[in-house]
Structure 1
Amino acid sequence: MSPPLAPTESAVAAAPAPDNEARRRLASWVSLAGGLIVFVAKMAGWQLTGSTALLSDGLESIVNVVAAGFAIFSIRFAAMPADRDHPYGHGKIEFLSAAFEGGLIFFAAAMIFYSAVGSLLEGPSVHEVDHGLTIAVGAGVLNLVLGWWVRREGRQTGSVTLIADGEHILSDVWTTAGVVVGLGLVMFTGIAWLDPLVALAMGLLLARTGFRLVRDAANALLDREDPELLERLVGAFNEAPVQGITNVHRLRAIRSGDLVHVDAHVFVPSHWTVRQAHEAVVSLERWMASRASFRGELALHLDPCHSRVCASCDLGDCPVRAEPSGGRRRLSTEEAVGPTGLARP
């Protein structure tokens, strides 16, 4: 294994908190155990009733079990420190895990469509509906509690894998609710073909959930811009109590699991010494990382100022000022992500 990378002096870095790691691992194991219990219950209900809707619900639970197992691996892998081969850490495995789970949901939706259409063509037969309803309601309640808890743990610990897993479990609650409605209609009307129709509706719902998970994971893997995070960073810069540093520009941020890696350029007075500029920028980095409320690292690159920057420079005693200062002005996010941080003339 490649040696871990030591953070540079100017980097503001934070490793995953140990208590967060313990909570993530516990949540992933609880998710796996709960998924196994629900899967066994649903398959027993299918064997008992012959309900295509319960079979489709059980097939979807297989995905829960496989996804929970992959989540355990992903969370352990994501917790590994950055090394020479992976200088930004291993957190992006969580996005791969979410995409994998979305793909599994698509597969489950396809299996549900296949089973439902086959049942409609062959002629559905459902029996012992009351027992099936009891099993479905019990599985739904268990998944509701489990999904809510796993998603909450994911949000509180910053785990994309657990959030996706919790969302998936909660989507299973909706499919189970569909089973309850379908079996209830069959019991009260005696129309057996309502059962596979409900299964088809659940397949559509699952396909939608799978698409959303894959889309969001792909956006994260492709480092799509996070406007809310950029706004927090720009707001922190605008409020920073550091004189002489102006016009943050080329602001970029990427996510790697629950860690964020931010870099940007700032203008510093051209007459400052390297040490003076470095100390000021390190103070600004720490301020921005604290105020923007993210876990990860922030690195600011130094650019020497020029005459266009003078108008927004708040440095009182400047021997190289070329134009009068109008005082420091607030930057917009659009200016901060641009090439200069300066408003267009």
Structure 2
Amino acid sequence: MKEKRNIIVIALIVSIVLMLAKFSAYFITFSNFVLTDAAESIVNVLASAFAFYSIYLASQPRDINHPYGHGKVEFFSVFIEGTLISIAGIIIVLKGTYNLFYPHEVHKVITGAIIIGVTGAVNGGLGYYMISKGKTLNSITIEADGRHLITDMVTSSGLVVGLVLIHFLPYMWLDSGLSVLVGVYIVITGYKLVRKSVGGLMDEADFTIVQDLIRILNEQRKVEWIDVHNLRAQKYGHELHIDCHLTLPNYFDLNRVHDEVHLVDELINKEAKIKTEFFIHTDPCLPDCCYYCSMPNCPIRSEPKREYMEWTMANITRNKKHFEQ
């Protein structure tokens, strides 16, 4: 958690410095196009500040009021960031549209382009670093902040190209027109972040994570694990919570059942890229399971195995044993 906080602090400090640089570029050029980038930099600072708090809160231990921990605050952090980005984009579109009808002259656009180009390069490098660390540390907050900085790099690159065009082309409307286009792009980016955060807060299934779990279980399944079904995955910050049913031979005693459950838990936590808490409900096998059961020397087998049942998204997430259609 200390590493996460350090990354966010660095992002916050860099965001403040770059915000001041961008506003200096605006006051040099008085370009609406530059103002789009400067306005978004305010969002960078606010988002990084809130991200720092959310990382701190997510690191707090579970308590009686939060039995699954505080990790979901990271989704709320991303929601705030996406909302702020969208608001900034809407304001930029409105101001740019106004200035299309009431244009004004811009100044020293090449100087402004150089300043914006440098800030964009810094944001791009920091953004790629944060995305990489966010995936490594399983932090949606750090990854979202990194993607926001990449968006800022893209808009800054567009700004540099646009400012060069403004310098060489005698069209006063070009500054405002380009700022409107960038504003629309910023709104779309903000919407995507809000959509992702709402999905997390609503416990929307993360199919990438579930597919990875299914792959691990298929590759290292034991013959004792007759089937897995009713699997549900919920992400709480950097941790994953999974409920599932595991069908085992009905002649296993409680100690053997406990051992098999522990093996599933141990396997996933060793092979998956995210810390996982399992709640596994065990079901006894039924005679109808025999045709896909691989258990050797089974004393209660009613028919030979005749089919290999691969675990898939379809059969592992249903609340039914595999023979139940």
TM-score normalized with structure 1 length:
0.88
Partner of 2:286: 306
2:155 to 175, 182, 205: 175
2:321 alignment partner, SS class:
coil
Deviation, structure 1 residue 86: 1.2
2:208 to 223, 228, 236: 228
Aligned in 2, Cα 1:235/1:156: closer, same or farther, shift over 3 Å?
A: closer
Amino acid at match of 2:94: Y
Structure 1: unaligned runs, 5 residues or longer: 1-20
Answer yes or no: is the 8 Å Cα contact 1:246–1:328 preserved in 2: no
Amino acid at match of 1:234: I
Structure 2: unaligned runs, 5 residues or longer: none
Q: C-alpha offsets along residues 52-78 of structure 1, whole Å, 9 cap, x if unaligned?
A: 111121101000000000010011111
Q: C-alpha offsets along residues 19-59 of structure 1, whole Å, 9 cap, x if unaligned?
A: xx222111101111111111111111111111111112110
1:139 to 112, 119, 130: 119
Deviation, structure 1 residue 344: 5.1
Q: C-alpha offsets along residues 90-134 of structure 1, whole Å, 9 cap, x if unaligned?
A: 111111111111100111011112221232232221112232222
Say whether 1:58 aligns with 2:38: yes
Equivalent-residue separation in structure 2 for 1:236 and 1:48 (angstroms):
57
Amino acid at match of 1:235: R
Answer yes or no: is the 8 Å Cα contact 2:228–2:245 preserved in 1: yes
Deviation, structure 1 residue 178: 2.4
1:263 alignment partner, SS class:
strand
Equivalent-residue separation in structure 2 for 1:105 and 1:268 (angstroms):
50
Aligned in 2, Cα 1:343/1:322: closer, same or farther, shift over 3 Å?
A: closer
Aligned in 2, Cα 1:330/1:112: closer, same or farther, shift over 3 Å?
A: same
Equivalent-residue separation in structure 2 for 1:180 and 1:52 (angstroms):
13
1:219 alignment partner, SS class:
helix
Equivalent-residue separation in structure 1 for 2:228 and 2:175 (angstroms):
60
Equivalent-residue separation in structure 2 for 1:278 and 1:344 (angstroms):
25
Answer yes or no: is the 8 Å Cα contact 2:247–2:284 preserved in 1: yes
Amino acid at match of 1:339: N
RMSD: 1.8
Partner of 1:6: none
Equivalent-residue separation in structure 2 for 1:237 and 1:140 (angstroms):
43
Partner of 2:53: 73
Deviates further, 256-265 or 216-225:
216-225
1:300 alignment partner, SS class:
strand
Equivalent-residue separation in structure 2 for 1:68 and 1:50 (angstroms):
27
Say whether 1:214 aligns with 2:194: yes
1:48 to 28, 31, 51: 28
Equivalent-residue separation in structure 1 for 2:4 and 2:206 (angstroms):
24
Partner of 2:62: 82
Deviation, structure 1 residue 161: 0.5
2:296 to 307, 316, 319: 316
Equivalent-residue separation in structure 2 for 1:153 and 1:218 (angstroms):
23
1:267 alignment partner, SS class:
strand
Give structure 1 regions of 4+ aligned residues with deviation exceeding 6 angstroms.
none
Amino acid at match of 1:167: R
1:301 alignment partner, SS class:
strand
Answer yes or no: is the 8 Å Cα contact 1:94–1:160 preserved in 2: yes
Answer yes or no: is the 8 Å Cα contact 1:185–1:191 preserved in 2: no
Deviates further, 118-127 or 103-112:
118-127
Aligned in 2, Cα 1:327/1:174: closer, same or farther, shift over 3 Å?
A: closer
TM-score normalized with structure 2 length:
0.93
Amino acid at match of 1:178: G
- Matched positions, count: 325
Equivalent-residue separation in structure 2 for 1:293 and 1:147 (angstroms):
21
Equivalent-residue separation in structure 2 for 1:139 and 1:285 (angstroms):
46
Deviation, structure 1 residue 210: 0.5
Partner of 1:126: 106
Equivalent-residue separation in structure 2 for 1:194 and 1:155 (angstroms):
39
Percentage of matched positions with identical amino acids:
32
Amino acid at match of 1:60: E
